[in-house]
Amino acid sequence: MKKHVLLFLLALLLLPFKGFAETGDSTGFELDKLGEDTVFLVNADDPDHAVLNLAKNENERRYPASTTKILTCIIALETADLDEPVKVSKRACDLSPKNSKMGLKPGESFPLIDLLYGLMLPSGNDAAIAIAEHIGGSVSGFAELMNKKAAELNMHDSHFTNPSGLHNSDHYTTAHDLAVLTAYALQNELFARIVSTVVYDAQSTAGRKIELRNVNRLLRDATASDYKPYSCLYEYAIGVKTGDTHLAGRCLVAAARRGDTTYICVLLHGEAAPDGAKRLEKDRYLAQRFYDAIDLFEYAFQNDTVDLSISDLKERCLPDTYAIPLDPQKYVATEALYSIDWHEGESLSLPRWQADVFAKDPFPEENLLYEIRSYTAPVGSKAGTVTIESNGSPVFTGDLIVEEYNVPPTPEPSPTPYFPVTELSPAATPAPSAAPSDPPGLFERFFRLLRCNPTTP
């Protein structure tokens, strides 16, 4: 019996599946092979336009499900005190079992910041209502704030009736508008931190703790903790929000960053598992949007290229001078300063994420290779070369032209030491000593012995 069960599970794993990502890096795909009917991939710096024409039905109105909570979160971050306690109403907790919840109880209070984590990680509809009532006074009052903010962001094809995304025929948006909203929200550092968090411990003012886990499987491996067989982890993922309702289908707004380049992927109205599907098959459909997002991101990271010319680099980031210290024991100068004469050449084509890193200001030193051939070349002459390398290969070159040498001034010779003669005052002048007399002669010595004065008559 066990053998038959194992064979059945293996057969399910081997079934062909529309748009399912193969192992290994994606090298491209066709949009009609994706599992969603609405696709929009943009650069976060330009959310109005698709990258590499990766767009389908991006301006068609769709039910957004819980991707709505992106707007709920950014409004709360911009308008309310995040440390203020929020009291949870009975209405916020009066939800059907099919609703995703944070796990709130009527009457308890949580700091608003904890409710935002509960809103975005487990996609709590209870947290959404509590936040709306706290900020807008009611769900309808908060919806007015949502539509006002949408208008400010030029989300012209969007209308919202609630903070959670529960189905309402008058609650809709487009992939384009969600991309614009997400690009705006990611500029808020706290929003970006919340949506990239994998696990968070919320705590009520009374001390009750709730462990919150992110349902975005690009960020968290659900295979072990949730018993889901398909891992959808993606190393460059930074958030943002999933969404699921019967009429909205499987939805995902995701963001990925590599280097300084951030792409936003919006996938709406994804296929749901057929009725009667078993757990394993259901999980394949749940995983579909994440694999599609990975394929889209990988395709963009590999194929969204930028052509860089030496002129572009000179304007943006390249140095125009180079200075090097010299050994004063070997050379007269202590420093040589060179101007760089860059050579015009062919352009360099790089993936955008790599070009953004490559063309930083200042230009990365690891990509510059200087070669000095003469440390005594005359001013105005060529003393060496400089090369720009990319992936280990030279792509642009320039000449190092001697601009000047820093020669320290020659020290002046030291003067002969001068010691002044100090004149003594008369009082301090010593008396001259008596001149020494000639030694006494023999005759004089004879009379001294006789104790007589020879000069006496």
Give the pLDDT means over successive 10-residue stretches in the chain (457 positions).
40 34 44 92 96 95 97 97 96 92 96 98 97 97 98 97 96 98 98 97 96 95 80 95 95 96 97 84 90 95 92 90 90 91 89 88 90 92 93 91 87 63 53 55 54 48
CA-closest candidate to residue 314, choices 334, 287, 338, 342? 342
Which candidate, 274, 287, 283, places its Cα nearest to that of 19?
287
Give the H/E segment covering residue 11.
Answer: helix 2-14
Catalytic residue from among 100, 109, 123, 347: 123
- Asked if 69 is an active-site residue, the reply is yes
Among 84, 71, 75, residue whose Cα is nearest residue 113: 84
**C-alpha span between 85 and 102 (Å, rounded):** 16
User: What's the pLDDT score for residue 316?
Assistant: 87
Asked if 96 is an active-site residue, the reply is no
So what's the pLDDT on residue 16? 33
Give catalytic status of residue 33 as yes or no. Answer: no
Distance CA 329, CA 44 (A): 55
Burial of 108 (0-12, 13-18, 19+ CB in 10 A): middle
Q: Where are the beta strands (DSSP E) in 301-433?
A: 305-308, 321-325, 335-342, 348-351, 368-372, 382-390, 393-406
Catalytic one of 2, 26, 66, 158: 66
pLDDT computed for residue 199 by the predictor: 96
pTM: 0.78
Q: What is the pLDDT of residue 32?
A: 86
Beta bridge partners of 335: 325, 406
Q: What is the predicted pLDDT for the residue at 284? A: 87
Residue 129: the pLDDT is: 98
